[in-house]
Amino acid sequence: MRIPAGGVTLGGPVSNQPPTILHVDMDAFYASVEMRDDPSLRGLPVCVGGEADKRGVIAAASYEARRFGVHSAMPTAQARRLCPDLVLLPANFDKYTGVSREIMSIFHRYTPIVEPLSLDEAFLDASGTERLFGDAIAVGQRIKDDIKRELALVASIGVAPSKFLAKLASDLDKPDGFRVIQEDEIRTVLDPLPVSKIFGVGPRTAKRLESLGVLTVADLASRSRADVLREFGASGAWIHDLAHGIDTRRVSPNRVEKSHGMERTFAEDIGDPEELRLLLYEFCEEVSFELRNRGLRGRTVTLKARYANFKTVTRSKTVDIPINGGKRIYGVARELLAKIPEAPLRLLGVQVSNLSDVRAPIQTGLFNLPDPMRPDAPDSRTTEALDKLRRRFGRGTVVPASLLRRRSPKREREGEDEAK
Amino acid sequence: MKVLCEREKLREGLTVATSVIPMKSTRPAVENVYLVATDDALELVGTDLDVAVRFRIEDVKVEEPGTALIPARVAADFVRDLAGDTVTLRTKGDNLLIESGDDCCELTTIDPDEYPVVARFEESDSVRVMAATLTRLVSRTSFAAAREAGRYAMHGILTQTEGDELKMIATDGRRLAMASAALEDADAGSKSAIVPTKGMQLFCRVMDDPTELVAVHFGESQFCLKTTKAEVFARLIDGEFPRYSAVIPPSTENRLEADATTLTQKLKLVANVTSSDTRAVRLSMEKGALTIFGRSASTGEATAHMPVDFDGKPGTIAFNPDYLIDGLKNCESDTVRLEFNEKTSPGKFTLGENYVYIVMPITIDA
């Protein structure tokens, strides 16, 4: 049985356990991968994202670009104003997913307890690795070196007694950082930080705290727990704990995904129902591929649509039997699309939730109701084979015929033909 | 109108009527109970537009026949809390007075014209059945009817007559209960209707004497029941009931017989460890022995053993334990029989005479 991460003892003095939690975060991941693969880009302000005239946003910015004030999630148009020489590249998710898989496999050399947070970020628990690889600090160093040597990419790593502190540590020293927070230096590190550094304190909470005279983590930690609880309710307990460096969350390798979806803001509003249906089908195919990749299927399909005036509607439907086939998901999503008022859309998205493992038992039905999960269903063999092709040659390799006349998702990603 | 009646009888009638009357309706008039005083009886009428009841109170003294539409729940609560043995109901202008001894309440009434028309029982072509028989068939089947939204036709009990037999079938698409019993009539002909589960349960509520002979009528759009005290009408479900006979295996290769009480207890035991998202127990059988196994990724696993009679090829089949326990609750014989062909084909449970329960298995490692 593992000792809970963080090794926090209730009430008593903080035990002097060595830190075991690692947070690994790749520096400017998408941009770094692009610059690695094209040496001519090095030293230039490179960004990955959508084009300005298509209402694109920046997905990742190199440190050269960040010097101009460009950061991720910023509209590309604004980024271009800040940095007219910006080199904008379209996102190539197939490539990043591949690199991500390589990074994750490096993590798994050292510990099985890896909790990926995204393509380029993960928590690791290195407790129990001492006799094989040394303590968590040694493991962190080795991972950083492995990534650098084998993938020519730079990771920032934080090592600390808890998840919160590990994430904080990797951020403190970025880029190319390696920061350890020992149990006995928690206060020294936390105290001077602004409260907004606490996970869970967003701009609104920060503002409320400020009005109470709480600016730094030290201010928050010195408040009585009862006070904070009264002011902020249940989330008060959480932020008060964190301010004291208390975070008992474990690194959970099989973090349960709650939903999986995809949405897109269009370059121009789209009103043609046929065009919208095709896009929706494309999204459903993408989402279903991701679900199958993760060994999941879901029962609830949610459609999201944003109209030209930014009014956003969502419609959901829950089916009896969990599904992960593109056509089935689309079948439900199309029904939902037909139910919303017809008008030009700015954004369309689909999400599948209520997820379960494909290996979970399935209650079969009496009356030949759709039973797509049966291993002998003619569709599932084909899907399996197609998925293999997609994994090997890229997602756009095989697409449904009705999506053929459109550009394939892969080509679009590579930006060969962004115009309609 | 002016009527004098026994408080207890009025209370009973209002209880039955309010069990149908909705708390809130898009048609506010149906939130009321409709009182009809004829020369020799007082009738209480309640409906939610799907189900309707006419409850008849005899032995009343009608001084002045008439009708009134009054708020159902207030009236029922007031009458329930009255202490006197007799109650007088009397209209006064637009109000209705409920008086008993020194106590009185004055309720505002609503124009009776707003109330929907509730049918009367048609004696012709009705079928006679013992109250206990009808109640038993409903309790043997209704638990298997669909509850969740969708599959409209499965929200009721398929009720059929064939010769002198009355048969009820309910299913939610994963399990199916079918029971039949004899009618009092020698030949009732061939009739069929899907009666909403809610209506069927109301029918059972108004039959308080199990030995009473009641009459049922299969109407065009309603299924109707008449007892000495009440007439109940349920609007039929207009849909196609699944072809149930196709799912009842005509012959099976494996047959298991087990003590029903022990099996129930063992199933409950093992079901404790299964979580709501993996509600499954695996039955492994071999000659003379049954092993019940359940597990969930988050809690752990459990195993139970019991002696059984087994005839067939040793093997396994998995079910939702809740479904099995639901059926076993209604098991009338000491032993329950399970028959099936393969672990992916329906399991047929015999729970009593003329009573079968079909449950689809759960496939693990689909």
Is the CB of residue B69 less than 8 Å away from at least one CB of chain A?
Answer: no
pLDDT at A406: 62
Cα separation values, A359 from A113, A371, A389, Å: 22, 15, 23
List the end-to-end C-alpha distance of chain A, in Å, as a whole number.
57
User: Given an 8 Å threshold on Cβ–Cβ distance, is A361 in contact with B171?
Assistant: no
Domain region containing A230: 191-243
Residues of B in contact with A320 (CB under 8 A): 150, 173
Q: What is the CATH number of the domain that holds A53?
A: 3.30.70.270
End position of a domain, from candidates A184, A199, A227 = A184
Residues of B in contact with A367 (CB under 8 A): 173, 242-243, 247
Nearest residue, CB atoms, A367 vs list B247, B362, B364: B247
**Active site (annotated) includes residue A121:** yes
Q: Strand pairing partners for B179?
A: B168, B355
Which domains are seen in chain B, by residue range? 2-114 (3.10.150.10), 127-244 (3.10.150.10), 248-359 (3.10.150.10)
Given a contact cutoff of 8 angstroms between Cβ atoms, the answer to whether B222 and B183 are in contact is: no
What residue of A is the nearest CA neighbor of B274? A361
User: Given an 8 Å threshold on Cβ–Cβ distance, is A367 in contact with B358?
Assistant: no
Is the CB of residue B360 less than 8 Å away from at least one CB of chain A?
Answer: yes
pLDDT at A411: 41
Q: Strand pairing partners for B2?
A: B64, B90
Is 80 exceeded by the pLDDT of residue A216?
yes
Query: To the nearest whole angstrom, how far is the Cα of A289 from the nearest Cα of chain B?
Result: 18
One domain, residues A277 and A326: yes
User: Given an 8 Å threshold on Cβ–Cβ distance, is B242 in contact with A366?
Assistant: yes
DSSP string covering B291-339, please?
Answer: EEEEEETTTEEEEEEEE-EEES--EEEEE-HHHHHHHHHT--SSEEEEE
One domain, residues A277 and A210: no
Residue A43 lies in a domain: yes
Left, alpha or beta for A358 (phi > 0: left; psi -120 to 50: alpha)? alpha
Residue A9 lies in a domain: no
User: Given an 8 Å threshold on Cβ–Cβ distance, is B171 in contact with A366?
Assistant: yes
Nearest residue, CB atoms, A361 vs list B173, B176, B280: B280
Is the CB of residue A378 less than 8 Å away from at least one CB of chain B?
Answer: no
Q: Which of A217, A208, A214 is nearest to A244 (CA)?
A: A217
CA gap A193, A245 in Å, rounded: 12
CA gap B33, B55 in Å, rounded: 11
Q: What is the CATH number of the domain that holds A283?
A: 3.30.1490.100
Q: How confident is the model at residue A237 (pLDDT cuts 50, 70, 90)?
A: confident
pLDDT at B123: 83
One domain, residues A263 and A238: no
Residue A136: what residue type?
A: A
Across all residues in chain B, what is the average pLDDT? 91
CB atoms within 10 A of CB A32: 24
Query: To the nearest whole angstrom, how far is the Cα of A390 from the nearest Cα of chain B?
Result: 23
Is 80 exceeded by the pLDDT of residue A10?
no
Q: How many domains does chain A have?
A: 3
Given a contact cutoff of 8 angstroms between Cβ atoms, the answer to whether A103 and A88 are in contact is: no
Is the CB of residue B243 less than 8 Å away from at least one CB of chain A?
Answer: yes
Q: In what order do the strands lie in the sheet with B281-286?
A: B300-307, B289-296, B281-286, B315-319
One domain, residues A197 and A172: no
Given a contact cutoff of 8 angstroms between Cβ atoms, the answer to whether A161 and A17 are in contact is: yes
What residue of A is the nearest CA neighbor of B358? A366
Across all residues in chain A, what is the average pLDDT? 84
pLDDT at A407: 53
End position of a domain, from candidates A140, A168, A184 = A184
End position of a domain, from candidates A133, A150, A184 = A184
User: Given an 8 Å threshold on Cβ–Cβ distance, is B243 in contact with A367?
Assistant: yes
Given a contact cutoff of 8 angstroms between Cβ atoms, the answer to whether A269 and A344 are in contact is: yes
Q: Mean pLDDT throughout A215-236?
A: 87
Dihedrals phi, psi of A91, to nearest 5 degrees: -70, 140
Query: To the nearest whole angstrom, how far is the Cα of B28 from the nearest Cα of chain A?
Result: 30
A240: helix, coil or strand?
helix
User: Given an 8 Å threshold on Cβ–Cβ distance, is B362 in contact with A374?
Assistant: no
pLDDT at B306: 96
Is the CB of residue B39 less than 8 Å away from at least one CB of chain A?
Answer: no
Nearest residue, CB atoms, B362 vs list A356, A361, A374: A361
Query: To the nearest whole angstrom, how far is the Cα of A277 from the nearest Cα of chain B?
Result: 25
Given a contact cutoff of 8 angstroms between Cβ atoms, the answer to whether B79 and B106 are in contact is: no
One domain, residues A239 and A312: no
Is the CB of residue B171 less than 8 Å away from at least one CB of chain A?
Answer: yes
User: Given an 8 Å threshold on Cβ–Cβ distance, is B242 in contact with A365?
Assistant: no
CA gap A11, A17 in Å, rounded: 16
Rg (CA), chain B: 25
pLDDT at A377: 53
Given a contact cutoff of 8 angstroms between Cβ atoms, the answer to whether B260 and B331 are in contact is: yes
CA gap A32, A38 in Å, rounded: 10
User: Given an 8 Å threshold on Cβ–Cβ distance, is B277 in contact with A367?
Assistant: no
pLDDT at A231: 83
Is 70 exceeded by the pLDDT of residue A302?
yes
pLDDT at A11: 39
Q: What is the CATH number of the domain that holds A210?
A: 1.10.150.20
Is 50 exceeded by the pLDDT of residue A256?
yes
One domain, residues A233 and A171: no
Residues of A in contact with B174 (CB under 8 A): 363-366
Residue A60 lies in a domain: yes
Residue A260, Cβ density class (10 Å: 0-12 exposed, 13-18 middle, ≥19 buried): buried
B72: helix, coil or strand?
helix
- Please write down the long-range contacts of B327-331, taking CB distance under 8 Å and 24 or more positions apart: B327/B144, B327/B175, B327/B177, B327/B351, B327/B357, B327/B359, B328/B260, B328/B263, B328/B264, B328/B267, B329/B143, B329/B264, B330/B139, B330/B140, B330/B143, B330/B177, B330/B355, B330/B357, B331/B260, B331/B264
Is the CB of residue B240 less than 8 Å away from at least one CB of chain A?
Answer: no
User: Given an 8 Å threshold on Cβ–Cβ distance, is A361 in contact with B318?
Assistant: yes
Residues of B in contact with A356 (CB under 8 A): 277
Query: To the nearest whole angstrom, how far is the Cα of A367 from the nearest Cα of chain B?
Result: 6
One domain, residues A175 and A311: no
Is 70 exceeded by the pLDDT of residue A243?
yes
One domain, residues A75 and A114: yes
Residue A82 lies in a domain: yes
In the DSSP assignment, the letter for residue A180 is E
One domain, residues A153 and A56: yes
Is the CB of residue B113 less than 8 Å away from at least one CB of chain A?
Answer: no
What residue of B is the nearest CA neighbor of A375? B366
CA atoms within 13 A of residue B271's CA, in its CB half-sphere: 17
CB atoms within 10 A of CB A258: 10
Is 90 exceeded by the pLDDT of residue A308?
no
Residue A5 lies in a domain: no
Is the CB of residue B248 less than 8 Å away from at least one CB of chain A?
Answer: no
Is the CB of residue A320 less than 8 Å away from at least one CB of chain B?
Answer: yes
CA gap B202, A152 in Å, rounded: 74
CA gap B5, B38 in Å, rounded: 13
Residue A6 lies in a domain: no
Q: What is the pLDDT along chain B (366 residues), one digit of tens a residue?
A: 999 999 999 999 999 999 999 988 888 899 999 999 998 899 999 999 889 999 999 889 999 999 999 999 999 999 999 988 999 999 998 999 999 989 999 999 988 888 998 888 888 888 999 999 999 999 999 999 988 666 788 889 999 999 999 999 999 989 999 999 999 888 888 999 999 998 898 888 888 888 999 999 999 899 999 999 999 999 999 888 988 888 888 889 999 999 999 999 999 999 998 877 678 899 999 999 999 999 887 778 899 999 999 999 999 999 999 999 999 999 988 999 999 998 888 999 999 999 999 999 998 653
Given a contact cutoff of 8 angstroms between Cβ atoms, the answer to whether B51 and B234 are in contact is: yes
Is 60 exceeded by the pLDDT of residue A14?
no
- Which of A121, A183, A282, A414 is catalytic? The answer is A121
pLDDT at A413: 42
**CA dihedral sign, ordered B79, B82, B84, B89:** negative
Q: Which of residues 269-328 of B touch A (CB under 8 A)?
A: 277-278, 280, 318, 320
Inter-chain Cβ pairs, chain A and chain B, closer than 8 A? 52
Residue A10 lies in a domain: no
Q: How confident is the model at residue A13 (pLDDT cuts 50, 70, 90)?
A: very low
Is 70 exceeded by the pLDDT of residue A410?
no
Rg (CA), chain A: 24
- What pTM does this model have? 0.60
Q: Which of A338, A259, A351, A347 is nearest to A302 (CA)?
A: A351
Residue A303 lies in a domain: yes
User: Given an 8 Å threshold on Cβ–Cβ distance, is A363 in contact with B242?
Assistant: no
One domain, residues A80 and A126: yes
Query: To the nearest whole angstrom, how far is the Cα of A356 from the nearest Cα of chain B?
Result: 8
Cα separation values, B90 from A115, A214, B2, B33, B50, Å: 75, 71, 4, 15, 30
Query: To the nearest whole angstrom, how far is the Cα of B105 from the nearest Cα of chain A?
Result: 48
CA gap B20, B25 in Å, rounded: 12
pLDDT at A378: 56
One domain, residues A235 and A135: no
One domain, residues A229 and A290: no
